[in-house]
């Protein structure tokens, strides 16, 4: 039976700045089950990182402000937990891997101490036990000779090794849910694949839920079981990985898929891009936020925010093209290879 670990309902989060209120998250809802991997994808600035940071209460307030919505952890409402209660959850129950391991690790502390710090904070454990656990964690994430490497400093590690250390730190207290914010961005393709393999292995071994934040759809295809596509502070489409790759229903998802480089594509072929820029979140539009960039836009889209519609089991999208009154448009084709059809469109 699937067990829901985290459920987020209508989350709204803003930043109060001198220039006004930035509506960063505008009603985000999603859930994740035990041993499941969910990817949240979208362009930079769409609110992916703020969503998870606001769940973990990592955004300073002010300027950050939770405006609305509910967060449930194992069915328990943690929305109004105090900072002290959240401190107990962070690290032990939910953990996070940040984008840049070089700036996230303390350059003046040995790796072993950085891993064992979290363990000692949450558990009554002797220094010797904490050291043994740290060595085991380094082994788990694939670092060779952990007894020696535990004594080293971050600058003595390669980029891939530092990211593995970040994973080890995040796993130190066996969290139930791991948020990975662009964990492979600064790594080469081979190391990216190794890190994803480590995360996949750990997910199965510890029955952990993993929320992966990324803009890289190639990574998502290999790693995630479900995908939520985010645009301008909202989730515009969500579904199983196959739904999103083979039966996408939102024009923004189409644009993202089309802009993925593919093996077999002619070198002379220009990679399509999504024209225009996301809307200003100081003044979010009244209707569909994708309106200015959407080649299928209709009159209704400008003034009315599209409601979320169910397409199939677990597959939802918010677009007026899904309305029965919308005009039919040509079947959509995701251009992975020249001439290859791997998706179908609306109507």
Between 132 and 275, name the residue whose CB sits nearer to ligand SF4.
275
**Residue 301 binds ligand SF4, judged by CB under 6 A:** yes
Residue 137 binds to ligand SF4 (criterion: CB under 6 A): no
Can you point out the beta strands (E) in 47-191?
A: 64-73, 76-77, 94-97, 177-181
Query: Is residue 291 a contact point for ligand SF4 (CB under 6 A)?
Result: yes
Sign of CA dihedral 196, 198, 200, 202: negative
Nearer to ligand SF4, 105 or 288 (CB): 288
Tell me whether residue 224 or residue 319 sits nearer to ligand SF4 (CB atom): 319
DSSP-derived secondary structure for 220-255: HHHH-SEEEEEETTEEEEEEEHHHHHHS--SHHHHH
Residue 32: beta bridge partners?
A: 6
Token readout for 251 is 């024009």
* Cα–Cα distance, 296 to 317 (Å, whole number): 15
CB-wise, 189 or 310, nearer to ligand SF4? 310
Q: Is 290 in the site for ligand SF4 (CB under 6 A)?
A: yes
Per-residue mark of binding to ligand SF4, 234-253 (x: CB under 6 A): -----------------x--
Residue partners of 32: CB distance under 8 A and separation at least 6: 4, 5, 6, 38, 177, 209, 211
Kindly indicate which of the ranges 19-27, 79-87, 148-156, 291-299 contains the residues binding ligand SF4, using the contact rule CB under 6 A: 291-299
- List the interface residues with ligand SF4, window 303-332 (CB under 6 A): 306, 319-321
298 part of the interface to ligand SF4, by CB under 6 A: yes
**Which residues are near ligand SF4 by CB under 6 A?**
251, 288, 290-291, 294, 296-298, 301, 306, 319-321
């Amino acid at each position: 039976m699937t067990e829901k670990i985290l459920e987020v309902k209508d989350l709204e989060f803003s930043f109060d700045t001198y220039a006004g209120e930035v509506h960063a998250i505008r009603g985000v809802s999603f859930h994740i089950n035990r041993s499941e991997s969910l990817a949240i994808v979208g362009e930079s600035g769409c609110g992916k990182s703020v969503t998870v940071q606001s769940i973990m209460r990592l955004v300073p307030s002010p300027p950050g402000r939770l405006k609305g919505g509910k967060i449930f952890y194992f069915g328990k409402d943690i929305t109004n937990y105090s900072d002290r209660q959240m401190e107990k959850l962070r690290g032990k129950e939910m953990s996070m891997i940040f984008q840049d391991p070089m700036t996230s690790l303390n350059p003046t502390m040995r790796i072993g101490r950085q891993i064992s710090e979290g363990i000692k904070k949450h558990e009554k454990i002797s220094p010797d036990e904490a050291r043994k656990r740290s060595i085991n964690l380094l082994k788990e994430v694939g670092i060779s000779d952990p007894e020696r490497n535990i004594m080293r400093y971050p600058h003595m590690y390669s980029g891939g090794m530092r990211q593995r250390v970040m994973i080890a730190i995040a796993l130190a207290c066996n969290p139930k849910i791991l948020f990975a914010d662009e964990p492979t961005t600064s790594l080469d393709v081979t190391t990216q694949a190794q890190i994803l393999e480590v995360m996949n292995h750990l997910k199965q071994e510890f029955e952990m839920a993993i929320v992966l934040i990324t803009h890289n759809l190639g990574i998502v295809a290999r790693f995630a079981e479900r995908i939520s596509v985010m645009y301008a502070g909202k989730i515009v489409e969500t579904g199983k990985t196959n739904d999103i790759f083979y039966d996408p229903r939102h024009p923004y998802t189409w644009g993202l898929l089309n802009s993925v480089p593919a093996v077999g594509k002619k070198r002379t072929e220009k990679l399509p891009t999504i024209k225009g820029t996301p809307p200003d979140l100081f003044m979010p539009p009244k209707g569909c936020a994708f309106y200015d960039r959407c080649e299928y836009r209709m009159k209704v889209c400008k003034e009315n925010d599209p409601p979320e519609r169910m397409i199939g089991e677990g597959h939802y999208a918010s677009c007026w093209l899904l309305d029965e009154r919308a005009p039919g448009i040509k079947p959509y084709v995701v251009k992975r290879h020249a001439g290859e059809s791997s998706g179908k469109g609306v109507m």
